[in-house]
Amino acid sequence: MGNEDIIYSEHKRLSNCAGKSILILCGGPSVNNVSWENLSHDTVWSCNQFYLNEKIKDKKLDLVTVAAGLV
Protein backbone atom coordinates (compact mmCIF):
# COMPACT_ATOMS: atom_id res chain seq x y z
CA MET A 1 0.00 0.00 0.00
CA GLY A 2 1.15 3.55 -0.44
CA ASN A 3 1.23 6.68 -2.51
CA GLU A 4 3.94 8.67 -4.30
CA ASP A 5 5.39 9.94 -0.99
CA ILE A 6 5.34 6.86 1.23
CA ILE A 7 5.12 3.08 1.12
CA TYR A 8 3.38 1.51 4.08
CA SER A 9 1.68 -1.66 5.18
CA GLU A 10 0.38 -3.15 8.40
CA HIS A 11 2.79 -5.75 9.73
CA LYS A 12 1.17 -8.56 11.71
CA ARG A 13 3.86 -8.38 14.45
CA LEU A 14 2.77 -4.84 15.30
CA SER A 15 -0.65 -6.08 16.36
CA ASN A 16 1.04 -7.25 19.59
CA CYS A 17 1.56 -3.56 20.47
CA ALA A 18 -2.12 -2.63 20.63
CA GLY A 19 -2.88 -1.15 24.04
CA LYS A 20 0.80 -1.17 25.09
CA SER A 21 2.98 1.78 26.10
CA ILE A 22 5.85 2.37 23.68
CA LEU A 23 8.98 4.35 24.50
CA ILE A 24 10.60 5.70 21.32
CA LEU A 25 14.27 6.65 21.65
CA CYS A 26 15.99 8.16 18.64
CA GLY A 27 19.43 9.27 19.84
CA GLY A 28 19.23 13.03 19.45
CA PRO A 29 19.75 15.66 22.18
CA SER A 30 16.54 14.79 24.04
CA VAL A 31 17.94 11.34 24.90
CA ASN A 32 20.66 13.11 26.87
CA ASN A 33 18.49 15.91 28.30
CA VAL A 34 15.38 14.01 29.40
CA SER A 35 15.27 11.48 32.25
CA TRP A 36 13.63 8.63 30.30
CA GLU A 37 15.43 5.72 31.96
CA ASN A 38 12.83 5.22 34.70
CA LEU A 39 9.70 5.75 32.60
CA SER A 40 7.24 2.88 32.66
CA HIS A 41 6.86 1.22 29.25
CA ASP A 42 6.07 -2.13 27.67
CA THR A 43 8.37 -1.91 24.69
CA VAL A 44 11.21 0.26 23.34
CA TRP A 45 11.56 1.36 19.72
CA SER A 46 14.30 3.35 18.03
CA CYS A 47 15.32 4.54 14.60
CA ASN A 48 18.16 5.63 12.37
CA GLN A 49 21.42 6.57 14.10
CA PHE A 50 20.44 5.64 17.69
CA TYR A 51 23.57 3.48 17.93
CA LEU A 52 25.75 6.61 17.92
CA ASN A 53 24.34 7.70 21.29
CA GLU A 54 26.21 6.22 24.28
CA LYS A 55 23.07 6.14 26.46
CA ILE A 56 21.14 3.81 24.17
CA LYS A 57 23.62 2.04 21.90
CA ASP A 58 23.59 -1.09 24.11
CA LYS A 59 19.94 -0.89 25.23
CA LYS A 60 17.64 -3.79 24.34
CA LEU A 61 15.31 -2.53 21.61
CA ASP A 62 12.14 -4.29 20.51
CA LEU A 63 11.86 -2.55 17.13
CA VAL A 64 14.37 -0.60 15.05
CA THR A 65 13.68 1.19 11.80
CA VAL A 66 16.26 2.70 9.48
CA ALA A 67 15.44 5.06 6.64
CA ALA A 68 18.02 5.43 3.89
CA GLY A 69 19.13 8.86 2.75
CA LEU A 70 18.60 10.75 6.02
CA VAL A 71 21.30 13.21 7.02
Task: Give backbone dihedrals phi and psi of 17, rounded to 5 degrees, phi first.
Answer: -90, -5
For residue 8, what pLDDT is reported? 75
For residue 44, what pLDDT is reported? 92
| Regions of the chain short of the pLDDT cut 70 | 1-2, 7, 68-71
DSSP state of 56: T
Tell me the per-residue pLDDT of 1-21, one tens digit each, with 9 for 90 and over.
667 777 677 778 788 888 999
Mention every residue, 6+ apart, whose C-beta is less than 8 A from residue 36: 23, 25
Question: What's the pTM?
Answer: 0.71
Q: Give the C-alpha separation, 16 to 5, whole Å.
A: 27
Q: Give the C-alpha separation, 45 to 6, whole Å.
A: 20
